[in-house]
């Protein structure tokens, strides 16, 4: 199959370089353009990232000589691009919004890792196993904005990736959930690079991450919502209380979750069965970056652990464990996901594969 040519906006940053790492050898997509800030524009890609390449592979040989394009030079967008991944960082969220809108207006679909458009009503916020039907808002977005081929789709916050798929699997099986208390233990890589100063996080837990608790509590309502006539209609039936902390772990966000069901309460054995048998659209479509088992349950009393379990199934699975009855709610459990793979570039890559399979990217 002839590969689809794609671009990366913010290709010299930590998420942009993660995209480059994950796209190596991809069966569908080929990098044809790298764009970044004016500081990097005009340099070769190797020159632009030589001091900030932190991946565990060398800079790919075929990209070293690429000339970095100014991300805001819209007239120089290569005509062969079918879509772009957006990992741009700018001082203000409104600036990111505007840049992504301009790419969409130019006919370039944008799959964004940024939060700028997460609450734009006609922009889908996709987790492939939960709301693949939200891609159906794209024709409405295009009609609303007069776009031809362009559109914007986003991924949710990395803190959600650990716990929301197991919750959705239970709801899909008919066990509606009323309340959640979520405490996250988030890796330092979630703060980018250089991220949290070592003297702040070594031998320590930082009990506050700006904006993270609000995202953890509110974004599920859009993801679990329905496609309406003009946008996504949020589902606010689950009350969520979140505490988000930063811990001295390199990669892997862990969530401790207490859950209360609305009516029917499943047995522990039934919950584990639902999780281990759960599959969704990415698995049915056999998408290249879809985990074979979206939810993995470990019976070991001391698992999951970030160091041992974050890379399960290409780093794209949610690993759960320690399911037990709760003295206040019904059950509690631990869940883990790889924040820079499933929670960032890998999650967006899966969205791109879904959009390609559904005919929105050609």
Catalytic status, residue 244: no
- Say if CB 224 and CB 238 are below 8 A apart: yes
Pick the catalytic residue from 134, 158, 293, 338.
Answer: 158
Burial 264-293 (b: 16+ CB within 10 A, else e): eebeeeebbebbeebebbbbebebbbbbeb
- Say if CB 127 and CB 163 are below 8 A apart: no
Rounded distance between C-alpha atoms, residue 344 and residue 156, angstroms = 9
- Say if CB 138 and CB 104 are below 8 A apart: no
> What's the CA dihedral at 152, 19, 257, 318 to 10 degrees?
110
Scanning 174-324, the segments in alpha helix (DSSP H) are 198-201, 212-223, 268-277, 281-284, 306-309, 312-315
Rounded distance between C-alpha atoms, residue 210 and residue 196, angstroms = 13
Rounded distance between C-alpha atoms, residue 342 and residue 281, angstroms = 16
Pick the catalytic residue from 117, 134, 253, 338.
Answer: 253
Just list the catalytic residues. Answer: 158, 253
């Amino acid at each position: 199959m002839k590969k689809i040519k794609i671009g990366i906006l913010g290709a010299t940053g930590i998420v942009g370089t993660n995209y480059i790492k994950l796209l190596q050898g991809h069966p569908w997509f080929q990098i044809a353009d790298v764009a970044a800030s004016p500081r990097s524009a005009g340099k070769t890609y190797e020159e632009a990232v030589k001091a900030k390449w932190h991946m565990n592979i060398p800079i790919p040989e075929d990209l070293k000589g690429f000339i970095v394009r100014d991300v805001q030079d819209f007239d120089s967008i290569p005509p062969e691009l079918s879509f772009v991944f957006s990992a741009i960082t700018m001082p203000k969220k409104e600036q990111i919004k505007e840049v992504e809108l301009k790419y969409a207006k130019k006919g370039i679909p944008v799959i964004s890792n940024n939060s700028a458009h997460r609450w734009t009503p006609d922009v889908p916020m996709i987790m492939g196993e939960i709301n693949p039907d939200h891609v159906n808002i794209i024709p409405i977005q295009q009609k609303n904005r007069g776009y031809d081929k362009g559109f914007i789709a986003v991924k949710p916050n990395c803190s959600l990736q650990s716990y929301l798929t197991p919750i959705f699997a239970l709801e899909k099986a008919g066990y509606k959930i009323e309340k959640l208390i979520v405490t996250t233990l988030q890796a330092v890589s979630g703060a980018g690079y250089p991220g949290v100063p070592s003297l702040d996080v070594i031998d320590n837990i930082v009990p506050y991450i700006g904006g993270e608790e609000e995202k953890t509590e509110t974004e599920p309502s859009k993801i679990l919502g329905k496609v309406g006539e003009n946008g996504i209609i949020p589902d606010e039936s689950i009350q969520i209380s979140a505490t988000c902390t930063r811990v001295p772990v390199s990669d892997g966000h862990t969530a401790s979750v207490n859950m209360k069901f609305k009516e029917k309460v499943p047995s522990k054995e039934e919950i584990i069965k639902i999780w281990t048998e759960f599959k969704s659209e990415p698995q049915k479509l056999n998408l290249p970056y879809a985990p074979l088992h979206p939810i993995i349950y470990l019976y070991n009393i001391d698992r999951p652990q970030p160091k041992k379990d974050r890379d399960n199934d290409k780093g794209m699975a949610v690993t759960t464990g320690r399911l037990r009855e709760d003295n206040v709610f019904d059950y509690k459990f631990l869940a883990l996901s790889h924040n820079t793979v499933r929670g960032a570039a890998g999650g967006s890559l899966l969205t791109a594969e879904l959009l390609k399979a559904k005919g929105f990217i050609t």
